[in-house]
Amino acid sequence: MKAELEAIQTEVLEQLKQIASSDELETLRITYFGRNGKLTDVMKGMGSLSKEERPIVGKFANDVRATLTEAFEKTKTALESQQQEQQLKDEAIDITLPGRKPAYGKAHPVIQTLERIETIFTRMGFQTVTGPEVETEHYNFDALNTPIDHPARDLHDTFYLTDGQLLRTHTSPVQIRAMESQKPPLRIIVPGKAYRVDYDVSHTPMFHQVEGLLVDKHVTFSELKGVLVSFARQMFGDQTQMRFRPHFFPFTEPSAEADISCTVCQGKGCRSCGHTGWIEILGAGAVDPEVFKAVNYDPEKITGFAFGMGVERIANLQFRIPDIRTFYENDLRFLQQF
C-alpha cells in the first residue's frame, strides 16, 4: 500500500507539471481526491490493514496527502498569476496611438442655402417667423384669395388630411397668421417646409420655401424690386441681372415672376437656362387688397409686397446637381460634398 501511495504521489507531481489551465487542474483533483478518486480508493483500503501497520501507513498516507495538497495549491497560484498577466497583456492600451476622431455632422446643403437666404434678409431688417406645416384650407387658400375652383386647390397638388386639414402647399399662409397677430408695419420672412403631390428631377413632395412680406403705409412695387435685386446680387454675385415678368398669383396684384441672369453662362444662353439666358427664381407682387381684408387691415391705408422662393431650386443653382431628389436620399457620400 505504501508503494501504491508512493506511485500516486510521483504520478500526480509529474502530471501537475503539465497542467495549463484551472479546468485541467480541477479534473486532476477529482481524479485523485474525488469521492471515487485514486487516492481516496487507496485510503478506503486501510481498514484491511493490521493494527500495527495502520498507524504507520496512515501517517505515510497523510504525508502524501499533505504534499499533494500543497503541490495543488502552488500550481493553482501559479496558474492564477499567469492568467492575470495574460489579461493585463490583452487589455493593454497603447497610449501613444492617435485618438479616434468623432465624425462631425454638418448642415444639409438645402439648410445651408436656407440659412444664407435668411442671413441676407435679416441684414435688410426682416424678422424671421414660422408657422405650422399642418394647415387649414382657410389659411392655405381662402384667406389668400384662392377661390375654391383655383387649380392649386386641385387634389393632385395638395396632400389633404382629415377634418379639412392639409399639409401647407406653400409658406404663404404664415403671411396671414403674422398679419392676424401683429399690427403693421411688418417686415418678415418665413423659412419652412411645404408639401405638394409632385415627384420628378426638379420636384420632391416635401420642399422648402422662403416667404417674404413687407407691409406699411405707401409701400411701392419699386421697393419690392430694390429688395429682390439686392438679395439676388448678395446671393449670386454683384454682376447678377434681374428681370420681372408679369404673372398671376391670387394673393398679389399686380404679380410677377422674377428671373436672374443665368449663373452658368452669365446670360449668354446655355443648356442650364434653356438657351434663354434667364432662370426663374421667385414669385412676387403687391399684396392683393382682398388679402388685407381677410386679416382686417384697411387696404385704403395699408399697402405691401410679398414674395416666395423655392430653396431647393436656389440650392441647385449654387451646387448644380442634375436631380434634386438626391438631396433627400440621405446618401452621405453625396451630402458630404457640400
Shortest Å, Cβ 218 to ligand DAH: 19
The residue among 72 and 249 lying less far from ligand DAH, judged by its C-beta, is 249
The secondary structure of the chain, three-state, reads CHHHHHHHHHHHHHHHHHCCCHHHHHHHHHHHHCCCCHHHHHHHHHHHCCCCHHHHHHHHHHHHHHHHHHHHHHHHHHHHHHHHHHHHHHCCCCCCCCCCCCCCCCCCHHHHHHHHHHHHHHHCCCEECCCCCEEEHHHHCHHHCCCCCCHHHCCCCCCECCCCEEECCCCCHHHHHHHHHCCCCEEEEEEEEEECCCCECCECCEEEEEEEEEEECCCCHHHHHHHHHHHHHHHHCCCCCEEEEEEEECCEEEEEEEEEECCCCCCCCCCCCCCCCEEEEEEEEEECHHHHHHCCCCCCCCEEEEEEEEHHHHHHHHHCCCCHHHHHCCCHHHHCCC
The residue among 42 and 186 lying less far from ligand DAH, judged by its C-beta, is 186
The residue among 105 and 125 lying less far from ligand DAH, judged by its C-beta, is 125
Q: By the 8 A CB rule, do 243 and 258 touch?
A: yes
The residue among 54 and 243 lying less far from ligand DAH, judged by its C-beta, is 243
Asked if 172 touches ligand DAH (CB under 6 A), the answer is yes
Q: Total residues contacting ligand DAH (rule CB under 6 A)?
A: 11
Residue in 195, 249, 278, 297 binding ligand DAH, rule: CB under 6 A = 249
Cβ-closest position to ligand DAH: 308
The residue among 192 and 267 lying less far from ligand DAH, judged by its C-beta, is 192
Which residues lie closer than 8 Å to 19 by C-beta, 6 or more apart?
Answer: 25, 28, 75, 79
Asked if 179 touches ligand DAH (CB under 6 A), the answer is no
Asked if 308 touches ligand DAH (CB under 6 A), the answer is yes
The residue among 175 and 263 lying less far from ligand DAH, judged by its C-beta, is 175
Asked if 252 touches ligand DAH (CB under 6 A), the answer is yes
The residue among 249 and 278 lying less far from ligand DAH, judged by its C-beta, is 249
Q: Please provide the size of the chain in residues.
A: 338
**Rounded Cα–Cα distance for residues 68 and 32 (Å):** 10
Identify which range of 72-80, 125-133, 185-193, 283-291 contacts ligand DAH by CB under 6 A: 283-291
Shortest Å, Cβ 269 to ligand DAH: 26
Q: How many CA atoms lie within 13 A of 174 on its CB side?
A: 31
Asked if 307 touches ligand DAH (CB under 6 A), the answer is yes
Residues 182-241 that bind ligand DAH (CB under 6 A): 211
Asked if 306 touches ligand DAH (CB under 6 A), the answer is yes
Other CB atoms within a 10 A radius of the CB of residue 218 amount to 8
Residue in 184, 191, 267, 283 binding ligand DAH, rule: CB under 6 A = 283
The residue among 267 and 285 lying less far from ligand DAH, judged by its C-beta, is 285
Residue in 168, 170, 177, 313 binding ligand DAH, rule: CB under 6 A = 170
Identify which range of 33-41, 59-67, 71-79, 305-313 contacts ligand DAH by CB under 6 A: 305-313
Shortest Å, Cβ 302 to ligand DAH: 16
Q: Which residue has the cell 423659412?
A: 191
The residue among 240 and 255 lying less far from ligand DAH, judged by its C-beta, is 255
Residue in 109, 173, 184, 285 binding ligand DAH, rule: CB under 6 A = 285
Binding site for ligand DAH (CB under 6 A): 170, 172, 211, 249, 252, 283-285, 306-308
